Structure 1
């Protein structure tokens, strides 16, 4: 099977005319070592932009090597040190930037102990919004901020609101906000909700720059860096690929989107003049059981699930495989579904990467990076 090269990644979701025709700009991308940030930076560079990329250690050449290998890095990719919790740390990176894509945030569903949600997730997310947008207010050249939010800022489960009385499908929209997550129940979702609301509050206090947010569902697919600590990588490396869903998978819903679509939407939200408000990035609602069969369709030696495991069993053993009981409770049953018509219409994305391509390309990419072993 052919490798997932940079060309392959970009070709899956080609640059659109509005991207290639946009004036070359300088763009700050926060959290450049993140799972979504790599493909976004790759796309920006291919469109001819200059990227100021922030991370905690810009001198870590080993970690950043794959970014440095992207097209045009010598002239158009610059690394800066910044920390979400340090006021003023984004000022230097933001100087001369036309746009800011704020992606940096702690992303973890499994590594936070009870009682640590506020200090490890919620507070850093809020501090990051304050510090990044304070820097924007001090930087006259910035005209738009695109911020990565999440569908977890929209809802926790498919049952957060009642089904329509007329029997039509329940679709969450950009008008919905998560009202069920707390500091102790899915604190990541609570942090995403509060931090996005804080961003809208700060944006509304001025009129020089505007804010657009992108709310992705569960993001999978091939990325640029290895991103070993990513929840997405961990789900494949530690649960899916080792066969922990054989012979039975929990009835856990997965709202899915490809990382290349998410990167494209951030870039399109940046350059589309009429872009405004929130945009949902979501391709398909599926579940663990069906995912194993999609993977088996392209990797014949992979064993798909034969049956659904009972709730009590998944609730009992979930923490042993990195799945907290609050996650099991929230995601059990059909996944929430989302109305993305406005996203496609406003931003011009022609459609979504098919699920089979997402899993095939991601697993092949991880095989080539040595994160998993060939079966």
Structure 2
């Protein structure tokens, strides 16, 4: 069994009639496992990307079981009006995943043109295409916990001393064009989607808000933030002998794919759903990885803030990201997600890191120690 297939299809998925589904941004990190799952369930997938003629890039998607008969590629661009019209024709559902993801490489003043504007344009162009396609009955859109909060301290802790859990009712109010512009873009684009959905009644909208997504994917996704974090920071040992006190809110990409598919086929699904498995930090992650790969050296201590602040840009960690992530990660209430969509639970963190590292080693993105 392929690593991306370890989360079994649930009865609601296997009993759902075979449908035609548009997945935007098919070369993305989350899109690959989602397409794999849709094909496994018997659906036909229309997949968009900027260059469907790049057979080398798309080869791993083409090789998925069922792809030869039920996967078709279309050229589309988030910023081009009308470019999704052909892909959405005849589709019953749309899973909108395409969005720029850049966390630590945005220069001052680049947040709006590089991240925020393309995200908003993508929502406008995809949902405009949906409005012109009478067959579509539901849109599932990938948002982010970044649309819920920027840091663990975005709102005060409960007065009774209980754990602060963010919920689907929370919206990010602290990100700006210059401070975590990715989070600002995710917030504005999700709100824009809800605004457009409210202007009609033929199709309904569901959003999935994942935390930091890790785990094995289908394509190489060399430019993804997730692959880069393992390839450039974690696996080379830059968290040894000391790791910064950087909080990580984690979820496995295979669970995120499952939630998108379940949100699509669950009749009573409604609103926003948080995809989050565990809140941890880089220090603890190194020890989880070392428990599986004994030759990997875990961090021995926590590095001081001033040192990570100095070295952060060299590691690809922007200083605004460092300010946002330093200290405990935010935690989230996912009870509604699990109960409404029927996911039995979250994959263990150790499975996420083990399978991701083995997957990256197989793709020659890292060398085994």
TM range, smaller chain: over 0.9
Distance 2:292 2:75 in 1: 41
Question: Is 1:120 the equivalent of 2:114?
Answer: yes
Q: Which residue of 2 aligns with 1:286?
A: 280
Distance 1:17 1:121 in 2: 38
1:9 maps to which of 4, 11, 23: 4
Distance 1:159 1:292 in 2: 25
Alignment of 1:320-359 (within 5 A): 320-359=314-353
Deviations 1:234-279 (A, max 9, x none): 0000000000000000000000000000000000000000000000
Question: Is 1:263 the equivalent of 2:254?
Answer: no
2:159 maps to which of 147, 165, 168: 165
Deviations 1:296-322 (A, max 9, x none): 000000000000000011011100110
Alignment of 1:88-167 (within 5 A): 88-167=82-161
Question: Is 1:222 the equivalent of 2:199?
Answer: no
Contact 2:287 2:298 in 1 (8 A): yes
Q: Which residue of 2 aligns with 1:305?
A: 299
Q: Which residue of 1 aligns with 2:289?
A: 295
Q: Which residue of 1 aligns with 2:226?
A: 232
Q: Which residue of 2 aligns with 1:186?
A: 180
Q: Which runs of 4+ in 1 moved over 4 A?
A: none
Distance 1:332 1:74 in 2: 46
TM-score normalised by structure 2 residue count:
1.00
Distance 1:184 1:117 in 2: 6
Distance 2:224 2:323 in 1: 22
Matched positions, count: 369
Distance 1:368 1:133 in 2: 38
Question: Is 1:28 the equivalent of 2:22?
Answer: yes
Cα deviation, residue 74, structure 1: 1.6
Secondary structure, in 3 states, of the residue corresponding to 1:146? Answer: strand
